[in-house]
Structure 1
Protein backbone atom coordinates (compact mmCIF):
# COMPACT_ATOMS: atom_id res chain seq x y z
CA UNK A 1 0.00 0.00 0.00
CA UNK A 2 1.46 3.35 -0.99
CA UNK A 3 0.98 6.28 1.37
CA UNK A 4 1.80 9.37 -0.63
CA UNK A 5 3.27 12.40 1.12
CA UNK A 6 1.32 15.51 0.20
CA UNK A 7 3.70 18.07 -1.24
CA UNK A 8 1.37 20.44 -3.05
CA UNK A 9 -2.24 21.42 -2.52
CA UNK A 10 -3.98 23.95 -4.74
CA UNK A 11 -7.09 25.47 -3.18
CA UNK A 12 -9.33 27.42 -5.50
CA UNK A 13 -12.09 27.13 -2.90
CA UNK A 14 -12.29 26.43 0.83
CA UNK A 15 -15.00 23.78 0.79
CA UNK A 16 -14.13 20.22 1.79
CA UNK A 17 -14.85 17.35 -0.58
CA UNK A 18 -18.38 16.06 0.00
CA UNK A 19 -20.49 13.13 -1.16
CA UNK A 20 -21.76 13.99 -4.63
CA UNK A 21 -18.68 16.01 -5.59
CA UNK A 22 -17.48 15.47 -9.16
CA UNK A 23 -13.84 14.41 -9.27
CA UNK A 24 -11.29 13.56 -11.93
CA UNK A 25 -8.53 11.06 -11.14
CA UNK A 26 -5.28 11.40 -13.07
CA UNK A 27 -2.61 8.70 -13.30
CA UNK A 28 0.42 9.24 -15.55
CA UNK A 29 -1.15 10.26 -18.88
CA UNK A 30 -4.60 8.79 -18.13
CA UNK A 31 -7.52 10.68 -16.59
CA UNK A 32 -11.08 9.65 -15.73
CA UNK A 33 -14.00 11.33 -14.00
CA UNK A 34 -16.36 10.01 -11.36
CA UNK A 35 -18.53 10.96 -8.38
CA UNK A 36 -17.66 10.86 -4.67
CA UNK A 37 -19.99 8.34 -3.04
CA UNK A 38 -18.55 7.93 0.47
CA UNK A 39 -16.16 9.77 2.82
CA UNK A 40 -15.00 8.62 6.24
CA UNK A 41 -11.66 9.22 7.90
CA UNK A 42 -8.85 8.25 5.52
CA UNK A 43 -11.22 6.80 2.91
CA UNK A 44 -12.57 8.62 -0.13
CA UNK A 45 -14.77 6.41 -2.34
CA UNK A 46 -15.37 7.33 -5.98
CA UNK A 47 -17.92 5.74 -8.31
CA UNK A 48 -16.13 5.45 -11.64
CA UNK A 49 -16.85 3.13 -14.61
CA UNK A 50 -13.15 3.17 -15.58
CA UNK A 51 -11.89 2.00 -12.17
CA UNK A 52 -10.31 -1.04 -13.85
CA UNK A 53 -7.64 1.29 -15.26
CA UNK A 54 -6.24 1.84 -11.76
CA UNK A 55 -4.72 -0.50 -9.20
CA UNK A 56 -4.02 -0.26 -5.44
CA UNK A 57 -0.82 1.65 -4.79
CA UNK A 58 -1.11 3.91 -7.84
CA UNK A 59 -0.24 7.55 -7.03
CA UNK A 60 -2.93 9.82 -8.47
CA UNK A 61 -3.88 13.48 -8.69
CA UNK A 62 -7.44 14.39 -7.77
CA UNK A 63 -9.26 17.41 -9.14
CA UNK A 64 -12.52 17.97 -7.30
CA UNK A 65 -15.12 20.33 -8.75
CA UNK A 66 -17.92 22.28 -7.06
CA UNK A 67 -20.04 25.35 -7.71
CA UNK A 68 -17.43 27.44 -5.87
CA UNK A 69 -14.40 26.26 -7.81
CA UNK A 70 -12.08 23.29 -7.65
CA UNK A 71 -9.54 21.59 -5.41
CA UNK A 72 -6.39 19.82 -6.64
CA UNK A 73 -4.55 17.42 -4.38
CA UNK A 74 -2.41 14.26 -4.58
CA UNK A 75 -3.53 10.91 -3.23
CA UNK A 76 -3.08 7.18 -3.88
CA UNK A 77 -5.40 4.29 -4.69
CA UNK A 78 -6.00 1.93 -1.76
CA UNK A 79 -8.73 -0.40 -3.09
CA UNK A 80 -11.03 -0.91 -6.05
CA UNK A 81 -14.06 -2.91 -7.15
CA UNK A 82 -16.29 -3.01 -10.21
CA UNK A 83 -17.27 0.58 -10.97
CA UNK A 84 -15.71 1.92 -7.77
CA UNK A 85 -12.35 2.85 -6.32
CA UNK A 86 -11.08 4.08 -2.96
CA UNK A 87 -8.30 6.61 -2.54
CA UNK A 88 -6.68 8.10 0.53
CA UNK A 89 -8.54 11.14 1.82
CA UNK A 90 -5.61 13.55 2.31
CA UNK A 91 -5.24 15.21 5.74
CA UNK A 92 -5.48 18.64 4.10
CA UNK A 93 -9.00 17.83 2.94
CA UNK A 94 -9.92 16.30 6.29
CA UNK A 95 -8.98 19.56 8.02
CA UNK A 96 -11.49 21.41 5.82
CA UNK A 97 -14.25 19.07 6.95
CA UNK A 98 -16.53 19.64 9.93
CA UNK A 99 -16.52 15.93 10.72
CA UNK A 100 -14.89 14.51 13.85
CA UNK A 101 -11.10 14.89 13.62
CA UNK A 102 -10.44 11.18 14.23
CA UNK A 103 -13.48 9.10 13.24
CA UNK A 104 -13.84 6.03 15.45
CA UNK A 105 -14.56 2.67 13.92
CA UNK A 106 -16.33 -0.20 15.62
CA UNK A 107 -14.11 -3.21 16.29
CA UNK A 108 -14.10 -6.33 18.42
CA UNK A 109 -10.59 -6.82 19.77
CA UNK A 110 -8.90 -7.58 23.04
CA UNK A 111 -6.18 -5.99 25.12
CA UNK A 112 -4.89 -5.46 28.64
CA UNK A 113 -4.77 -2.60 31.10
CA UNK A 114 -1.39 -2.85 32.83
CA UNK A 115 -1.52 0.12 35.20
CA UNK A 116 -3.96 2.74 36.48
CA UNK A 117 -2.89 6.01 38.13
CA UNK A 118 -4.11 9.49 38.90
CA UNK A 119 -1.05 10.91 37.17
CA UNK A 120 1.99 9.68 35.22
CA UNK A 121 4.07 9.47 38.38
CA UNK A 122 1.34 8.42 40.77
CA UNK A 123 0.81 5.15 42.60
CA UNK A 124 -0.50 2.24 40.54
CA UNK A 125 -4.10 1.53 41.60
CA UNK A 126 -4.47 -1.59 39.48
CA UNK A 127 -2.17 -4.15 41.09
CA UNK A 128 -2.44 -6.83 38.41
CA UNK A 129 -3.18 -6.45 34.67
CA UNK A 130 -6.83 -6.75 33.70
CA UNK A 131 -8.37 -7.76 30.36
CA UNK A 132 -10.25 -5.22 28.25
CA UNK A 133 -12.57 -5.65 25.27
CA UNK A 134 -11.87 -2.97 22.67
CA UNK A 135 -15.12 -1.71 21.09
CA UNK A 136 -13.95 1.20 18.98
CA UNK A 137 -10.68 2.82 17.99
CA UNK A 138 -9.35 5.90 16.21
CA UNK A 139 -6.01 7.63 15.85
CA UNK A 140 -7.04 9.80 18.78
CA UNK A 141 -8.25 7.24 21.29
CA UNK A 142 -10.16 4.06 22.12
CA UNK A 143 -13.36 2.85 23.70
CA UNK A 144 -13.37 -0.41 25.67
CA UNK A 145 -15.30 -2.35 28.27
CA UNK A 146 -14.23 -3.95 31.55
CA UNK A 147 -15.98 -6.94 33.08
CA UNK A 148 -14.95 -5.78 36.56
CA UNK A 149 -14.20 -2.11 37.14
CA UNK A 150 -10.92 -1.73 39.07
CA UNK A 151 -11.87 1.77 40.21
CA UNK A 152 -11.51 3.81 37.04
CA UNK A 153 -12.34 7.51 37.09
CA UNK A 154 -12.28 10.28 34.52
CA UNK A 155 -8.84 11.92 34.19
CA UNK A 156 -7.01 8.80 35.40
CA UNK A 157 -4.04 7.61 33.33
CA UNK A 158 -3.54 3.98 32.28
CA UNK A 159 -0.98 1.90 30.41
CA UNK A 160 -2.79 -0.30 27.91
CA UNK A 161 -1.71 -2.83 25.29
CA UNK A 162 -3.99 -3.51 22.33
CA UNK A 163 -3.87 -6.92 20.62
CA UNK A 164 -3.46 -5.36 17.19
CA UNK A 165 -0.63 -6.05 14.73
CA UNK A 166 1.36 -8.02 17.28
CA UNK A 167 0.65 -5.61 20.12
CA UNK A 168 0.24 -1.84 20.36
CA UNK A 169 1.25 -0.43 23.77
CA UNK A 170 0.02 3.06 24.62
CA UNK A 171 -0.73 5.43 27.47
CA UNK A 172 -4.28 6.73 27.71
CA UNK A 173 -6.27 9.25 29.73
CA UNK A 174 -9.82 8.28 30.66
CA UNK A 175 -12.31 10.89 29.46
CA UNK A 176 -15.64 9.22 30.25
CA UNK A 177 -17.12 6.20 31.94
CA UNK A 178 -20.57 4.61 31.88
CA UNK A 179 -22.33 1.38 32.76
CA UNK A 180 -23.61 -0.70 29.84
CA UNK A 181 -26.89 -2.63 29.69
CA UNK A 182 -25.12 -5.89 30.54
CA UNK A 183 -23.55 -4.35 33.65
CA UNK A 184 -20.01 -3.98 32.33
CA UNK A 185 -18.12 -0.69 32.43
CA UNK A 186 -17.51 1.25 29.23
CA UNK A 187 -14.47 3.53 29.12
CA UNK A 188 -13.77 6.24 26.55
CA UNK A 189 -10.16 7.43 26.49
CA UNK A 190 -7.72 9.50 24.48
CA UNK A 191 -4.15 8.61 23.64
CA UNK A 192 -1.47 10.40 25.63
CA UNK A 193 1.56 8.50 24.35
CA UNK A 194 2.06 6.06 21.50
CA UNK A 195 5.27 5.32 19.59
CA UNK A 196 5.36 6.42 15.91
CA UNK A 197 5.80 2.83 14.67
CA UNK A 198 2.81 1.69 16.70
CA UNK A 199 0.78 4.67 15.51
CA UNK A 200 1.54 3.71 11.91
CA UNK A 201 0.50 0.12 12.65
CA UNK A 202 -2.73 1.42 14.17
CA UNK A 203 -3.36 3.67 11.16
CA UNK A 204 -2.96 0.72 8.79
CA UNK A 205 -5.26 -1.42 10.93
CA UNK A 206 -7.93 1.29 10.98
CA UNK A 207 -7.70 1.77 7.23
CA UNK A 208 -8.04 -1.96 6.51
CA UNK A 209 -10.99 -2.20 8.89
CA UNK A 210 -12.69 0.80 7.26
CA UNK A 211 -12.33 -0.81 3.84
CA UNK A 212 -13.86 -4.07 5.13
CA UNK A 213 -16.73 -2.23 6.82
CA UNK A 214 -17.48 -0.24 3.67
CA UNK A 215 -17.38 -3.36 1.47
CA UNK A 216 -19.87 -5.04 3.81
CA UNK A 217 -22.10 -1.96 3.75
CA UNK A 218 -22.09 -1.87 -0.06
CA UNK A 219 -23.14 -5.53 -0.19
CA UNK A 220 -25.96 -4.91 2.28
CA UNK A 221 -27.13 -1.86 0.33
CA UNK A 222 -27.09 -3.85 -2.92
CA UNK A 223 -29.09 -6.69 -1.33
CA UNK A 224 -31.71 -4.25 -0.06
CA UNK A 225 -32.35 -2.82 -3.53
Structure 2
Protein backbone atom coordinates (compact mmCIF):
# COMPACT_ATOMS: atom_id res chain seq x y z
CA UNK A 1 0.00 0.00 0.00
CA UNK A 2 1.29 3.45 -0.90
CA UNK A 3 1.93 5.82 1.97
CA UNK A 4 -0.57 8.68 1.94
CA UNK A 5 -0.37 12.12 3.43
CA UNK A 6 -2.75 15.06 3.73
CA UNK A 7 -0.85 17.05 6.34
CA UNK A 8 1.90 19.70 6.16
CA UNK A 9 5.37 19.07 7.53
CA UNK A 10 5.15 18.02 11.18
CA UNK A 11 7.53 18.28 14.10
CA UNK A 12 8.13 15.04 15.97
CA UNK A 13 6.83 16.63 19.18
CA UNK A 14 3.53 17.54 17.50
CA UNK A 15 2.80 13.83 16.96
CA UNK A 16 2.88 13.02 20.67
CA UNK A 17 -0.67 12.70 21.98
CA UNK A 18 -2.19 12.21 18.53
CA UNK A 19 -4.89 9.56 18.09
CA UNK A 20 -3.75 6.56 16.07
CA UNK A 21 -5.22 3.33 14.74
CA UNK A 22 -3.22 0.18 14.19
CA UNK A 23 -4.46 -2.54 11.86
CA UNK A 24 -2.97 -6.01 11.60
CA UNK A 25 -4.11 -9.02 9.62
CA UNK A 26 -6.97 -9.71 12.04
CA UNK A 27 -6.95 -6.79 14.48
CA UNK A 28 -7.86 -3.11 14.46
CA UNK A 29 -7.06 -1.17 17.63
CA UNK A 30 -6.68 2.45 18.62
CA UNK A 31 -4.35 4.33 20.94
CA UNK A 32 -2.14 7.39 20.93
CA UNK A 33 1.39 8.32 19.95
CA UNK A 34 3.34 8.65 23.19
CA UNK A 35 6.89 9.08 21.86
CA UNK A 36 8.60 9.99 18.57
CA UNK A 37 12.33 10.37 18.00
CA UNK A 38 14.12 9.94 14.71
CA UNK A 39 12.88 6.81 12.95
CA UNK A 40 11.22 5.40 16.08
CA UNK A 41 7.77 6.10 17.45
CA UNK A 42 5.78 4.55 20.26
CA UNK A 43 2.07 3.80 20.36
CA UNK A 44 0.54 3.41 23.80
CA UNK A 45 -2.60 1.29 24.07
CA UNK A 46 -3.81 -1.62 26.21
CA UNK A 47 -4.15 -4.08 23.31
CA UNK A 48 -0.43 -4.34 22.58
CA UNK A 49 -0.56 -8.07 23.39
CA UNK A 50 -2.31 -8.66 20.06
CA UNK A 51 0.82 -7.65 18.17
CA UNK A 52 4.40 -8.89 18.22
CA UNK A 53 7.79 -7.75 16.89
CA UNK A 54 7.96 -8.42 13.17
CA UNK A 55 4.23 -7.93 12.53
CA UNK A 56 3.43 -5.77 9.50
CA UNK A 57 0.71 -3.25 10.33
CA UNK A 58 -1.15 -0.33 8.80
CA UNK A 59 -0.85 2.83 10.91
CA UNK A 60 -3.14 5.85 10.62
CA UNK A 61 -2.17 8.94 12.64
CA UNK A 62 -4.71 11.73 13.13
CA UNK A 63 -3.11 15.11 13.78
CA UNK A 64 -4.70 18.56 14.26
CA UNK A 65 -3.53 19.38 10.72
CA UNK A 66 -4.93 16.21 9.12
CA UNK A 67 -4.05 12.55 8.89
CA UNK A 68 -1.56 10.27 7.20
CA UNK A 69 -1.24 6.51 7.01
CA UNK A 70 1.44 4.03 6.05
CA UNK A 71 2.54 0.43 6.41
CA UNK A 72 5.36 -0.46 8.77
CA UNK A 73 6.60 -3.15 11.15
CA UNK A 74 6.56 -3.59 14.91
CA UNK A 75 10.14 -3.62 16.22
CA UNK A 76 9.58 -3.94 19.99
CA UNK A 77 6.76 -4.53 22.45
CA UNK A 78 6.13 -3.45 26.01
CA UNK A 79 3.31 -4.11 28.46
CA UNK A 80 1.04 -1.43 27.00
CA UNK A 81 3.11 -0.03 24.16
CA UNK A 82 4.52 -0.91 20.77
CA UNK A 83 7.54 0.55 19.04
CA UNK A 84 7.47 0.98 15.28
CA UNK A 85 9.53 2.62 12.53
CA UNK A 86 8.52 5.47 10.27
CA UNK A 87 8.95 4.35 6.63
CA UNK A 88 11.82 6.13 4.90
CA UNK A 89 9.55 8.30 2.69
CA UNK A 90 7.43 9.43 5.66
CA UNK A 91 10.57 9.97 7.73
CA UNK A 92 12.47 11.94 5.12
CA UNK A 93 9.71 13.98 3.47
CA UNK A 94 6.92 14.64 5.96
CA UNK A 95 8.65 15.17 9.31
CA UNK A 96 10.71 18.20 10.28
CA UNK A 97 13.90 16.78 11.77
CA UNK A 98 17.66 16.68 11.65
CA UNK A 99 19.08 14.59 8.83
CA UNK A 100 20.44 12.21 11.46
CA UNK A 101 18.91 12.74 14.93
CA UNK A 102 21.48 12.54 17.72
CA UNK A 103 21.35 10.07 20.57
CA UNK A 104 22.83 11.26 23.86
CA UNK A 105 25.30 8.67 25.11
CA UNK A 106 28.35 8.19 27.28
CA UNK A 107 30.66 5.74 25.56
CA UNK A 108 34.39 5.49 25.06
CA UNK A 109 36.49 5.62 21.94
CA UNK A 110 40.11 5.85 20.90
CA UNK A 111 41.52 7.99 18.10
CA UNK A 112 44.62 8.53 15.97
CA UNK A 113 45.25 11.77 14.13
CA UNK A 114 45.73 11.38 10.37
CA UNK A 115 48.20 13.38 8.27
CA UNK A 116 47.38 14.94 4.90
CA UNK A 117 48.90 11.88 3.20
CA UNK A 118 46.28 9.67 4.85
CA UNK A 119 48.65 8.04 7.33
CA UNK A 120 48.41 8.11 11.12
CA UNK A 121 50.32 10.96 12.74
CA UNK A 122 53.66 9.57 13.90
CA UNK A 123 53.42 11.72 17.03
CA UNK A 124 50.23 10.01 18.13
CA UNK A 125 50.67 6.34 17.29
CA UNK A 126 49.41 5.53 20.76
CA UNK A 127 45.67 5.25 21.28
CA UNK A 128 44.25 8.55 22.52
CA UNK A 129 41.08 8.08 24.60
CA UNK A 130 38.02 10.28 24.04
CA UNK A 131 34.58 10.42 25.61
CA UNK A 132 31.71 10.31 23.12
CA UNK A 133 28.65 12.33 24.15
CA UNK A 134 26.32 11.89 21.18
CA UNK A 135 26.08 9.61 18.17
CA UNK A 136 23.96 9.39 15.05
CA UNK A 137 24.06 7.57 11.74
CA UNK A 138 25.96 10.57 10.40
CA UNK A 139 28.64 11.13 13.02
CA UNK A 140 29.57 11.66 16.66
CA UNK A 141 30.34 14.39 19.16
CA UNK A 142 33.19 13.86 21.62
CA UNK A 143 35.21 15.81 24.16
CA UNK A 144 38.98 15.94 24.47
CA UNK A 145 41.78 18.28 25.52
CA UNK A 146 43.70 17.54 22.32
CA UNK A 147 44.46 20.51 20.00
CA UNK A 148 42.57 19.09 17.00
CA UNK A 149 41.95 21.57 14.14
CA UNK A 150 38.64 21.76 12.30
CA UNK A 151 38.63 19.69 9.06
CA UNK A 152 41.12 17.23 10.55
CA UNK A 153 40.74 13.55 9.75
CA UNK A 154 40.77 11.07 12.62
CA UNK A 155 40.89 7.31 12.80
CA UNK A 156 38.59 6.13 15.59
CA UNK A 157 37.48 2.93 17.25
CA UNK A 158 34.04 3.30 18.84
CA UNK A 159 33.28 0.81 21.60
CA UNK A 160 29.79 -0.44 20.72
CA UNK A 161 28.66 -4.07 21.16
CA UNK A 162 30.94 -4.77 18.21
CA UNK A 163 33.64 -2.07 17.98
CA UNK A 164 33.42 0.10 14.87
CA UNK A 165 36.64 1.35 13.29
CA UNK A 166 36.30 4.21 10.81
CA UNK A 167 37.48 7.65 9.67
CA UNK A 168 35.99 10.91 10.99
CA UNK A 169 36.20 14.48 9.77
CA UNK A 170 36.05 17.23 12.40
CA UNK A 171 33.40 19.68 11.15
CA UNK A 172 33.12 21.99 14.16
CA UNK A 173 34.45 22.46 17.68
CA UNK A 174 33.49 24.38 20.80
CA UNK A 175 35.73 25.51 23.62
CA UNK A 176 34.66 24.67 27.16
CA UNK A 177 36.33 25.51 30.45
CA UNK A 178 38.02 22.17 30.97
CA UNK A 179 37.89 20.57 27.51
CA UNK A 180 36.91 20.97 23.88
CA UNK A 181 33.86 19.49 22.14
CA UNK A 182 34.29 18.21 18.58
CA UNK A 183 31.49 17.46 16.14
CA UNK A 184 32.52 14.93 13.50
CA UNK A 185 31.07 13.29 10.39
CA UNK A 186 31.66 9.66 9.44
CA UNK A 187 33.65 9.39 6.20
CA UNK A 188 33.97 5.72 5.29
CA UNK A 189 31.41 3.52 7.07
CA UNK A 190 30.85 0.28 5.18
CA UNK A 191 27.28 -0.93 4.49
CA UNK A 192 27.66 -3.55 7.22
CA UNK A 193 28.89 -0.93 9.69
CA UNK A 194 25.94 1.32 8.81
CA UNK A 195 23.52 -1.53 9.48
CA UNK A 196 25.22 -2.36 12.79
CA UNK A 197 25.26 1.29 13.88
CA UNK A 198 21.61 1.86 12.95
CA UNK A 199 20.54 -1.29 14.82
CA UNK A 200 22.52 -0.23 17.88
CA UNK A 201 21.01 3.27 17.87
CA UNK A 202 17.45 1.96 17.48
CA UNK A 203 17.94 -0.51 20.33
CA UNK A 204 19.43 2.16 22.58
CA UNK A 205 16.56 4.55 21.80
CA UNK A 206 14.05 1.93 22.92
CA UNK A 207 16.07 0.97 26.01
CA UNK A 208 16.37 4.62 27.04
CA UNK A 209 12.64 5.14 26.52
CA UNK A 210 11.81 2.14 28.73
CA UNK A 211 14.25 3.39 31.38
CA UNK A 212 12.73 6.88 31.31
CA UNK A 213 9.21 5.52 31.76
CA UNK A 214 10.35 3.25 34.59
CA UNK A 215 12.00 6.19 36.36
CA UNK A 216 8.81 8.24 36.01
CA UNK A 217 6.79 5.45 37.62
CA UNK A 218 9.16 5.38 40.60
CA UNK A 219 8.98 9.14 41.23
TM range (shorter): 0.7 to 0.9
Superposed, which structure 2 residues align to 1:69-108 within 5 Å?
Answer: 69-95=66-92, 96-108=94-106
Q: Which SS does the other structure have where 1:212 is aligned? A: helix
**What's the Cα RMSD here?**
2.1
1:193 and 2:176 equivalent?
no
- Deviation per CA, 1:125-178: give whole Å up to 9, x if none: 4531322222210111101123x41x3111111121211132212221112223
In structure 1, the residue matched to 2:140 is 142
Cα distance in 2, alignment partners of residues 179 and 70 from structure 1: 44
Shift in Å, 1:49: 1.4
Cα distance in 2, alignment partners of residues 66 and 177 from structure 1: 38
Aligned residues: 213
Superposed, which structure 2 residues align to 1:8-47 within 5 Å?
Answer: 8-16=2-10, 18-47=15-44
Shift in Å, 1:75: 1.3
In structure 1, the residue matched to 2:199 is 204
- Give the TM-score of the pair, scaled to structure 2: 0.87
Shift in Å, 1:44: 0.4
Gaps of 5+ in 1: 1-6
Cα distance in 1, alignment partners of residues 184 and 169 from structure 2: 5
- The 10-residue stretch of structure 1 (95-104 or 54-63) with the greater mean CA deviation from structure 2: 95-104
| Contact in 2 for aligned 1:165/1:201 (Cα 8 Å) | no
Cα distance in 1, alignment partners of residues 174 and 65 from structure 2: 44
Cα distance in 1, alignment partners of residues 139 and 200 from structure 2: 14
- Give the TM-score of the pair, scaled to structure 1: 0.85
Cα distance in 1, alignment partners of residues 152 and 164 from structure 2: 20
- Deviation per CA, 1:32-84: give whole Å up to 9, x if none: 11111110012101111111111122121111123443212111112222222
The structure 1 segments of at least 4 consecutive aligned residues displaced by more than 6 Å after TM superposition are none
| Contact in 2 for aligned 1:115/1:159 (Cα 8 Å) | yes
Q: Which SS does the other structure have where 1:193 is aligned? A: coil
Shift in Å, 1:124: 4.1
Cα distance in 1, alignment partners of residues 29 and 95 from structure 2: 25
Aligned counterpart in structure 2 of residue 113 of structure 1, from 111, 114, 119: 111
In structure 2, the residue matched to 1:175 is 171
1:223 and 2:212 equivalent?
no
Cα distance in 2, alignment partners of residues 216 and 89 from structure 1: 22
